[in-house]
Structures are given as C-alpha cells and as structure tokens.
C-alpha cells in the first residue's frame, strides 16, 4: 500500500502540476518583462476550451495542443493592447480578461454541447526504456505523454533564453530598468509584447494540457484558481525555471492528494481537500515571500520620456 500511495501521489502531482508548470513558465517571462498577468487563468481557460474542441473534432491531441496555444495567445493580445500599448492598469485589465473568458467559455460550451460532456480518449504515452521499469516511481515518471517531455524541455529553453540570450537580457531589462533599455535603443514595448504573447501561448498550452491530458473533458470554470496559483509559483520561483518546476510539482501534490488518500482507504472531507491548494499558497507566501524579489518595474506601464 505504501508503494501504491507513492505512485499515486507522483502520478497525481504530474497530472495536476504540468498545467501549472506551463502557465507559471509563461508568467515568469511576463513578470521578468514587467507585466503582471492577472488574467492568466482566463488564458488557461480559453486554451482549455479551444484545445478540447479541436482535439474532440480532429481526434488529434497535437492539433488540440496547437489550438490551445493559439487560443491563449489570442487572449493575451488583449493584455498587449490595453496594458502594454495603452498603459492601462494591469490588475484591472487582468481581472476583466478572467471574468470575460469565464463567461465566454461557459456560453460557448453551452451552445456547442448543451448539457452533454463528451470525453476524449486517453493520450498515448511514451516510455523511456529502462527508466520506466524502476520500481514504484518508474511508470509514474517515465511513462508519460510526449507533451510532458516537451514541458520538461521548456524549462531549459526558457532558462537559456532568459539568462543566456540577448532577447532574455532585454526581457529582464524591460522589467528592471526599462528606461535604460530604451536609452540603449531597444523598443521596450516590443519586448514586453513578445513576453506577453509568449505568456499567453504557454498559459493556453497549460489549459490544453488540463483539458486534453489531465481531465479528458472540458467543463466551465475547470481551472478552479490554477491561474492564480501559477502567479504565486512564478513569483516564488524568482525568475528561475527550475524553481518553477519544483513549485508546480509541490502544488500538484496538494491538488491531487485526495485521490491518493482515497486509493489507500483514507476518507477525507471534500471541502477540506478543496482548501488544500489555497492553504498551501498561504503557507508558501508566509514562508518564502520575503525571500522572493520582483522586477522593479513590475505592473508599471512604460511611456517614453517618463521616469
């Protein structure tokens, strides 16, 4: 039973943590560029809906993931227009995006499916020879859909871009010293636009993973606060993708612990289970918030000629 419980916890952490990983990686890019993306959950939700619809229509999970990415990027255009280009309040616009996407996806789902809830087939998995045979953890960690390995690869890609490339240097400068970046002849608004679109794409992909792999179904409001958890993970990750991975898996455990406990015969109140992720957020903020540092220009609009 101990090994069964451990395997269930690992599997649940991956299923719940991967949508958080994609989304928090996107938020990391956005925050480093100085844009606080409160509408992250709306991008996830629209990505989940778009990905589910295309995967259900085409029978291809990869077309679904592509549609989710495009859907999330489309929503992020609202942040680009209102916050990056027009300099409107990022928090107000983000909340508006979230509420709009919740209403829109609920309406579209009701129109398209009524009260039916079609399900997708399970996404095929790829086993890593040798590693997938490791007792207890092998099948949980090394027998996953290919998109899981793409997510792991993205950790290194995002880390390299942010800290080893000129684009990453410009992104971080847009969040820390946008005036200096502008004086160096780099278009701050263009850099922030690239960052926000990247965030939308990854958040949409996170929503697509949630609908296509984790749940196999789309239901209105299915993200359940995951976008806000991803914002916390990105803040506590301090711009480091590896810390974002660790945070995503830890919160994934909090989200999935109920299933693991029920598997070993421990019954626990559903209300208490629903509280766990948000209790974990409060505890994490209380313990580590002072150790995190955020870009100096985060959530501040940039206008040339103003300091």
**CATH number (domain holding residue 213):** 1.10.3470
Percent of the residues in the chain that have a pLDDT greater than 90, as a whole number: 62
Q: Within a domain: residue 121? A: no
Average of pLDDT values for 175-198?
A: 95
Determine, yes or no, domain membership for 132: no
Q: How many angstroms separate the CA atoms of 276 and 39, rounded?
A: 23
* pLDDT in the model for residue 105: 96
Three-state SS sequence of the chain: CHHHHHHHHHHHHHHHHHHHHHHHHHHHHHHHCCCCCCCHHHHHHHHHHHHHHHHHHHCCHHHHHHHHHHHHHHHHHHHHHHHHHCCCCHHHHHHHHHHHHHHHHHHHHHHHHCCCCCCCCCCCEEECCCHHHCCCCHHHHCEEEHHHHHHHHHHHHHHHHHHHCHHHHHHHHHHHCHHHHHHCCCCHHHHHHHHHHHHHHHHHHHHHHHHHHHHCCCCCCCCCCHHHHHHHHHHHCCCCHHHHHHHHHHHHHHHHHHHHHHHCCCCCCHHHHHHHHHHHHHHHHHHHHHHCCCCCCCCCCCCCCCC
Going by pLDDT thresholds of 50, 70 and 90, the confidence category of residue 307 is: low
What does the mean pLDDT of the chain come to?
Answer: 88
Residue range 44-97, pLDDT digits in tens? 999 999 999 999 999 999 999 999 999 999 999 999 999 999 999 999 999 999
Least confident piece of the model among 15-24, 29-38, 235-244: 235-244
Q: Average pLDDT of 227-248?
A: 90
Residue 51: inside a domain: yes
Per-residue pLDDT tens over the stretch 128-158? 888 778 876 777 788 899 999 999 999 999 9
pLDDT of 181 reads 94
Q: Does 305 reside within a domain?
A: no
Report if residue 203 sits inside a domain.
Answer: yes
251-271 pLDDT tens trace: 888 777 766 666 666 666 666
Can you tell me the distance from the alpha carbon of 227 to that of 42, in angstroms, rounded to the nearest whole number? 8
Q: In sequence order, what are the residues at sequence separation of 6 or more whose Cβ sits closer than 8 angstroms to the Cβ of residue 141? A: 10, 14, 131, 134
- Domain total for the chain? 1
Q: Is residue 32 part of a domain?
A: yes
Domain with 192, as residue range(s), is 3-115+141-291
Overall average pLDDT of the 40-45 stretch: 96
Any idea which residue has 């919740």 for tokens? 102
Judge whether 263 lies within some domain.
yes
Q: Does 88 map to a domain? A: yes
pLDDT value at 18 more than 80: yes
| Mean pLDDT calculated for residue range 235-246 | 89
- What value does the mean pLDDT take over residues 194-215? 96
């Amino acid at each position: 039973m101990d090994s069964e419980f451990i395997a269930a916890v690992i599997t649940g952490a991956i299923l719940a943590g991967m949508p958080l990983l994609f989304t928090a990686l996107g938020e990391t890019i956005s925050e480093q560029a100085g844009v606080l993306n409160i509408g992250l959950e709306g991008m996830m939700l629209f990505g989940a809906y778009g990905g589910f619809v295309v995967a259900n229509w085409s029978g291809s999970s990869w077309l679904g993931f592509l549609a989710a990415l495009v859907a999330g990027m489309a929503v992020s255009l609202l942040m680009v227009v209102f916050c990056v280009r027009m300099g409107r309040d990022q928090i107000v616009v983000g909340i508006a995006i979230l509420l709009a996407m919740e209403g829109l996806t609920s309406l579209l789902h009701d129109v398209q499916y009524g009260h039916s809830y079609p399900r997708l087939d399970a996404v095929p998995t790829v086993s890593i020879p040798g590693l997938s045979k490791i007792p207890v953890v092998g099948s949980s960690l090394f027998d996953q859909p290919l998109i899981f390995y793409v997510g792991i690869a993205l950790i290194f890609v995002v880390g390299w871009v942010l800290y080893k490339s000129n684009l990453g240097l410009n992104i971080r400068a847009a969040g820390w010293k946008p005036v200096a970046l502008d004086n160096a002849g780099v278009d701050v608004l263009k850099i922030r636009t690239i960052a926000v679109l990247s965030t939308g794409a990854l958040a949409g992909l996170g929503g697509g993973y949630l609908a296509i792999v984790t749940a196999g179904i789309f239901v209105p409001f299915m993200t359940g606060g995951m976008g806000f958890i991803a914002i916390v993970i990105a803040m506590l990750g301090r711009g480091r993708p590896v810390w974002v991975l660790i945070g995503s898996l830890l919160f994934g455990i909090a989200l999935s612990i109920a299933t693991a406990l029920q598997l070993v015969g421990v019954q626990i109140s559903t209300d208490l289970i629903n509280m766990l992720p948000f209790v974990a957020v409060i505890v994490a903020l209380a313990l580590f918030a002072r150790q995190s540092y955020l870009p100096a220009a985060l959530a501040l609009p940039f206008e040339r000629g103003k300091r």
